[in-house]
Amino acid sequence: MAWRSSGASNEALIENLSGNGLIHSSRVKQAMLGVDRAHYAPYAPYQDSPQSIGHRATISAPHMHASACESLLPYLKPGSRVLDIGSGSGYLTHVLAELVKPGGTVVGVEHIQPLVDIGTTNTRKSQEGRELMDNGGIKYVKADGRLGYPEGAPYDAIHVGAAAADFHQQLIDQLRLPGRLFIPVEEAYMQHIYVIDKNEDGTVTRKKEYGVQYVPLTDAPKE
């Protein structure tokens, strides 16, 4: 149904995603309605497809952003702390911030400064985005996402927007008790979304979801 969800406006896109069963929660729907994808996608912003944003990075298709939000939703509450690894355009970072306000914080991590700058510039295109950045609701940093961002831990939820080579124990370690990690993982010649829960007693459970195709999760290029 994803390919049928494109629209002529942000509202039409989100309504189509909802009507096609790709958005289930009213909270996710309202958050995505509140963030105009035109501020983040360089062309055809209301197409339900991934797009290049330069620097070998992409903005994922809206239905993937909806899926991530739906999966993490039980851990996205006012005041929650969220880590968005591979924040890219900043779109999902902003949507997540809408889901954890007031009082929540989303840290967007990118491996090169130009992508940090892109996320910052895009988010500041709207009044809501500027307010979130000015009050600490959104923060973009340059770091090796494979190592998480320990300075802001623990996190109620972690989203990874690039395919990881493994499950990266450092990310699981930075989850709160309880907390949830949404991560695409490379397996042979395929990639799958895994939802990893860290329970209140510290035990960890992994659930394999569905096949995907993401750019790889990498560090900054060597000088």
Q: What residues are annotated to the active site?
A: 60
Cβ atoms < 10 Å from Cβ of 34: 15
For residues 157 and 75, the answer to whether their CB atoms sit within 8 Å is yes
Q: Which phi and psi angles does 160 have, rounded to 5°?
A: -115, 125
